[in-house]
Amino acid sequence: MHSGEEVKFNMKKIQKQIFSAIASGALILNLATPVAAGTTLQISGNGAYSDSDVDIEMEQETTVVQSNSAQVVNNIDADAKTGENDANYNTGGDVTIWTGDAYSDVTVSNLLNKNVATVECCDLGDFDVLIEGNGAYSENDVEIKAEDDDNKIEVFQENEAGVENNVDADAKTGGNDAEYNTGGAVVVKTGSADAIVDVSTTANANIAIVGGEGGDSEMSLRIIGNGAYSDSDIEVELEREITLVQENRAEVLNNIDADAKTGYNDANWNTGGDMAILTGDAYTDVTVDNLLNFNAADVNCFCLFSDIFAKIDGNGYETENEIKVELEDELEVFQGEEGAGNQAAVENNVDGDSKTGKNDLEWNTGDTEGDPFVHTGSADSFIDVFNAANMNVYGDFSWPEWEFDWDMGWLSMWL
């Protein structure tokens, strides 16, 4: 039996705490080796009229594409029935119908679409470029290039989920007949009818971490002590592009019909003895929990160089010396702009019915000191619908300690 207080006490409580420790991801890319770690370029001690060139072209391209598509249809029909017994036309003795409980419990859990990418953006390392002590009329050139098409990190994460849950849960007890009996007491007693439905859909999570510790790269550029009429050039062109796109689309349709019925008993046209109908409780509890579309991104590749030192000093008569540095760092993160972001469409159609009663105790002839007796249980219906959709988090974050009321502990199930 369920009383109102017991029902409230035992109801499922949705407690949401973001991220219970994620140790690693579904896809982890570690590209930690710098393109040029501790690079030293030196043109020195060459004679008059010498022609020296150092040309470095650096290329690094990382592309991560993660895409999931899930279509789920659950059609569930759960019936629990007890009763529909007949005890009619009996003569002499007591007539008793006693049925047990009818209990229907349906749990649907959909866990769909998760992408995790960890990409270490390569530190260019330290550069030391020196043109020193070359003879008269020498020509010395150092060129370092890494254009945006050559130094690029792209992460694309996309999920698409379509979920349809059709649940019909029935728990029925009753429908008993005890009629046209003569002599003795007539008793009809039915158990409780419980219909419990729990539907949980969790879909579409993207987690991307680009970069980590670092940011201490240094560049030293020097043209010193070269002979008369020498021509020395240092040219540095470095470009880096990081693009992160996170996109989710979810459509969820929940059609839930939960019925708990007890009663519908007939004890009519009986003669002699007491007549009693006692029915159990009718209890429905429907919980719908939808968590959809979550994006988390942390991009921390720091600047290309934290310290640049350039020096032109002590060169001879009529020298031509040039140091040119061009640095370009581009970051694009799309979590909600046009063409990206989250789209969620949720429709919950819930019908929770608890019914007790509809008992007939009529046209009976019994003890003149006794009264016909009908006692029905309580009818309780609880519906709890929770929708959480479309959440974007960008920036530095710590996995276990987020304070949002959204339980993402399910992510660890895929690790």
The DSSP secondary structure of 202-264, one letter per residue, reads EEEEEEEEEE-S----EEEEEEESPPTT-EEEEEEEEEEEEEEEEEEEEEEEEEEEEEEEEE-
pLDDT at 285: 93
What residue type is assigned to position 345 of the chain?
Answer: A
Provide the phi-psi class of 229: left if phi over 0, else alpha when psi is between -120 and 50, else beta: left
Check pLDDT > 50 for residue 5.
no
Count Cα neighbours of 332 within 13 Å in the Cβ-side half-sphere: 12
Rounded average pLDDT over 228-242? 90
Among the ranges given (8-17, 245-254, 256-265, 341-350), the one the predictor scored with the smallest mean pLDDT: 8-17
Mean pLDDT, residues 38-62 taken together: 87
Please state which of the ranges 11-20, 115-124, 397-406 shows the lowest mean pLDDT. 11-20
Instruction: Tell me 13's DSSP state.
Output: P
**pLDDT of 17:** 26
Mean pLDDT of 40-45: 89
- What is the per-residue pLDDT for 388? 85
Give CA–CA dist 274/345, Å, rounded: 58
Other residues' Cβ atoms within 10 Å of the Cβ of residue 210: 24
Distance (Å, whole) CA 299 – CA 26:
18
At 351, which helix (H) or strand (E)? strand 341-357
Is pLDDT at 28 greater than 80 in this prediction?
no
Q: Is the pLDDT of residue 234 over 80?
A: yes
Confidence at residue 283, expressed as pLDDT on a 0 to 100 scale: 92
Domain count, the chain: 1
The residues, any chain, with a CB within 8 Å of residue 244's CB and separated by 6 or more, are 154, 155, 208, 210, 297, 299, 332, 333, 334
Range of the domain at 309: 4-414
Q: Is the pLDDT of residue 141 over 90?
A: yes
Over residues 52-66, the mean pLDDT reads: 86
pLDDT at 366 over 80: no
Q: In this predicted structure, what is the pLDDT of residue 250? A: 92
Mean pLDDT of the chain: 80
pLDDT digits (tens, 9 = 90+) for 376-396: 888 888 889 888 888 888 876
Environment class of 339 (CB within 10 Å of its CB; exposed 0-12, middle 13-18, buried 19+):
exposed
- Could you give the strand order of the β-sheet that contains 186-189, starting from the edge strand earlier in sequence? 95-98, 186-189, 275-278, 373-375
DSSP class of 276: E
- pTM for the whole thing? 0.74
pLDDT of 185-207, one tens digit each?
Answer: 889 999 899 999 999 999 998 88
